């Protein structure tokens, strides 16, 4: 397999060694709709370094895609109000002019989308779509260079006979190949930041494994910062260094993958863990769903937005859960682990109440 020569160093390279490549601070995205403003993301703060992977989890509608599209500057300025700060390789992109934004998009940051069949243009050949992505950021390159580059990238992501398949249309590819082509397109300009929005949700486990392998190999090779959005905690466990759990547009827990999945301190995270069965778990483990449905963002619940569905709010004194939004505070496992919950002793509750039900076999080990 050929490796991809770096024909042009991206603008970000200079600033790469100092601090995280992507820094999001207090990001809020609001859509004015006919029924009133919908705050899809509020007060989101996170950062990703080069070579690291951030996983974002949450139910659908929790703001995962909206926040990432804000990073890419994909929201229509007329229909979305964005506040806060997003720094990509040191450049502030909130409020950045369209032409400067365009120079970053697809170049030093790229995004791959969930439904590759819908996300690729049905009327243009795969090769043409890849070449277009390359040419727009390499104005001096010729059509021939672009085609060579496209074939090279298809080869790199493991498409067999890339010089022939480059002239296929998206519908002629299988689901897994289309997702590979999307990845090839995202990586064609060697971006320092790659956002993968549910890259494997519609795929079979075997194909998912291939795609995740590929993403990891490429990340190692290009040393890029990766954000992977998913609702599959297994994918998070295997891919992510850091994890951000979102609920109703807010970050409710943030920490390393180990902190979040082994010692979670927020009832929503517990709910996510307890509502999905596990292929290797004990068969005595219970499947405990989160009751109810995700809230409406038009009229979000007061206080902690999870309180209508929370099974532990009775352990919080008074009416706090209903009246006061908990702050995002350090958890007991370390300052890098943040959680948004009023519970006084989350570790105790998790160890004594939750774990015995959802992972009886783990209780002995951790005690």
Partner 1 sequence: MTQDPNAEAQIEPTEVGANAAESGERQLDSDVSDAYGSHERGVDGLDFSSLADLGHTASELDPDAPAVLTVDNLKMYFPVKSSGLVRRTIGHVQAVDGISFEVPQGGSIGLVGESGCGKSTTGRLITRLYKPTGGSMMFEGHDLAKLSNREMKPLRRDVQMIFQDPYTSLNPRHTVGTIVGAPLEVHNIVPKNKVLPRVQELLEVVGLNPEHYNRYPNEFSGGQRQRIGIARALTLNPKMLVADEPVSALDVSIQAQVVNLLQDIQREFDVAFLFIAHDLAIVRHFCPEIAVMYLGKIVEIGDRETIYGRPHHPYTQALLSAVPDVKQAAIGGRRERIRLEGDVPSPINPPSGCRFRTRCQFAQEICAKVEPPLLQIGKRHKVACHFAGELGAHPATPVTTELLGVDDQGSTVPGATPTNTQLTIPGYEKTWYDLGTKQTTGV
Partner 2 sequence: MFAYVVKRLISGVLVVTLVSMAIFLLFWYGPSSPAQPICDRETSNRCGNKIELYEKTLGYDNPVYEEYGKYVKGVFVGRTLTIASNDYECSAPCLGVSYRTKQPVKEELVKRIPATFSVAIGGAFLYLLFGVPIGVAAARRRGSITDKALVSSFLFISSIPYYLFALLTWLYLTITFEIPLFSETGYFSPIKDGPWAWFSGLFLAWVALGIFGCTQYTRFTRGAMVEALSEDYIRTAKSKGLPTRTIVYKHGLRAALVPVVTIFGIDFGTLLAGTIFTERIFEIQGIGWWSLQAVQGRDLPVVQATALFSAVVLIISNLLVDIVYSVLDPRVRLS
Ligand X SMILES: Nc1ncnc2c1ncn2[C@@H]1O[C@H](COP(=O)(O)OP(=O)(O)O)[C@@H](O)[C@H]1O
Q: What are phi and psi of 84, to 5 degrees?
A: 100, -160
- Length of the chain as a residue count: 367
Q: Are 303 and 309 in contact (CB under 8 A)?
A: no
Binding-residue total with ligand X (CB under 6 A): 14
User: C-beta of 43: minimal distance to ligand X in Å?
Assistant: 15
180 lies in the site for partner 2, by CB under 8 A: no
User: C-beta of 219: minimal distance to ligand X in Å?
Assistant: 22
CA angle 143/147/152 to nearest 5° reads: 150
Given the structure tokens 């498409």, which residue do they identify?
159
Name the burial class of residue 264, with classes exposed (0-12), middle (13-18) and buried (19+) by CB atoms within 10 angstroms of its CB: buried
Residue 304: name its binding partner from Mg ion, ligand SF4, ligand X, none (Cβ under 5 to 8 Å by kind): ligand SF4
Given the structure tokens 């403003």, which residue do they identify?
37
Which one of 31-39, 232-240, 324-332, 359-367 is the stretch in contact with ligand X (CB under 6 A)? 31-39
DSSP class of residue 14 equals G
Of residues 96, 101, 288, 363, which one binds partner 1 by CB under 8 A? 288
Which one of 95-103, 228-236, 307-315, 358-366 is the stretch in contact with ligand SF4 (CB under 6 A)? 307-315
Which one of 58-66, 91-99, 318-326, 359-367 is the stretch in contact with ligand X (CB under 6 A)? 58-66
Of residues 12, 39, 42, 65, which one binds Mg ion by CB under 5 A? 65
Instruction: Read off the tokens for 7.
Output: 């024909």
Q: Are 193 and 111 in contact (CB under 8 A)?
A: no
291 lies in the site for partner 1, by CB under 8 A: yes
Which uninterrupted H or E stretch holds 116?
helix 116-119
Residue 33: name its binding partner from Mg ion, partner 1, ligand SF4, none (Cβ under 5 to 8 Å by kind): partner 1
The smaller minimum CB distance to ligand X, of residues 298 and 344, is found at 298
Distance CA 337, CA 335 (A): 5
Distance CA 339, CA 301 (A): 18
The smaller minimum CB distance to ligand SF4, of residues 327 and 336, is found at 327
* CA distances, 333 to each of 80, 258, 268, 336, 354 (Å): 37, 10, 18, 8, 18
343 lies in the site for ligand SF4, by CB under 6 A: yes
Residues of this chain, 308-347, that bind ligand X according to CB under 6 A: none
Residues that bind partner 2 (CB under 8 A): 69, 72, 74, 98, 102-107, 110-111, 113, 115, 118-124, 132-133, 136-137, 169, 171, 182, 185
Q: Contact positions toward ligand SF4, by CB under 6 A?
A: 266-267, 304, 306-307, 310, 312-313, 316, 321, 326, 341-343
């Amino acid at each position: 397999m050929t490796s991809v020569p770096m024909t042009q160093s991206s603008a970000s390279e200079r600033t790469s060694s100092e601090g995280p490549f992507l820094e999001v601070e207090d990001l809020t995205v609001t859509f004015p709709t006919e029924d009133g403003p919908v705050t899809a993301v509020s007060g989101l703060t996170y950062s990703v370094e080069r070579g690291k992977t951030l996983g974002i989890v949450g139910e659908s509608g929790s703001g995962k895609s909206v926040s990432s599209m804000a990073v890419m500057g994909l929201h229509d300025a007329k229909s979305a109000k964005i506040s806060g700060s997003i720094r990509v390789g040191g450049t502030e992109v909130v409020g950045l002019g369209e032409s400067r934004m365009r120079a970053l998009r697809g170049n030093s940051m790229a995004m791959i989308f969930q439904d590759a069949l819908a996300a690729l243009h049905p009327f243009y050949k795969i090769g043409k779509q890849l070449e277009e992505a390359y040419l727009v950021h390499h104005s001096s390159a010729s059509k021939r260079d672009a085609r060579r580059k496209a074939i090279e990238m298809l080869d790199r992501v493991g498409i067999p006979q890339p010089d022939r398949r480059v002239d296929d249309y998206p519908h002629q590819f299988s689901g897994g190949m289309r997702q590979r082509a999307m990845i090839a397109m995202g990586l064609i300009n060697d971006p320092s930041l790659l956002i993968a929005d549910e890259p494997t949700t519609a795929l079979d486990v075997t194909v998912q494994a291939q795609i995740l392998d590929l993403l990891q190999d490429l990340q190692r090779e290009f040393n890029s910062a990766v954000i992977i959005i998913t609702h599959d905690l297994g994918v998070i466990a295997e891919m992510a260094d850091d994890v951000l759990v979102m609920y109703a547009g807010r970050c409710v827990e943030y920490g390393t993958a180990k902190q979040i999945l082994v010692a979670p301190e927020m009832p929503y995270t517990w709910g996510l863990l307890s509502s999905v069965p596990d292929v290797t778990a004990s068969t005595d483990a219970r499947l405990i769903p989160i009751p109810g449905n995700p809230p409406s963002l038009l009229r979000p619940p007061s206080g902690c937005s999870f309180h209508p569905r929370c099974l532990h709010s009775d352990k919080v004194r008074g009416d706090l859960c209903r009246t006061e939004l908990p702050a995002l505070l350090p958890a007991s496992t370390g300052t890098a682990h943040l959680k948004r919950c009023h519970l006084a002793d989350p570790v105790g509750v998790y160890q004594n109440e939750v774990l015995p039900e959802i992972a009886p076999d783990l209780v002995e080990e951790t005690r």
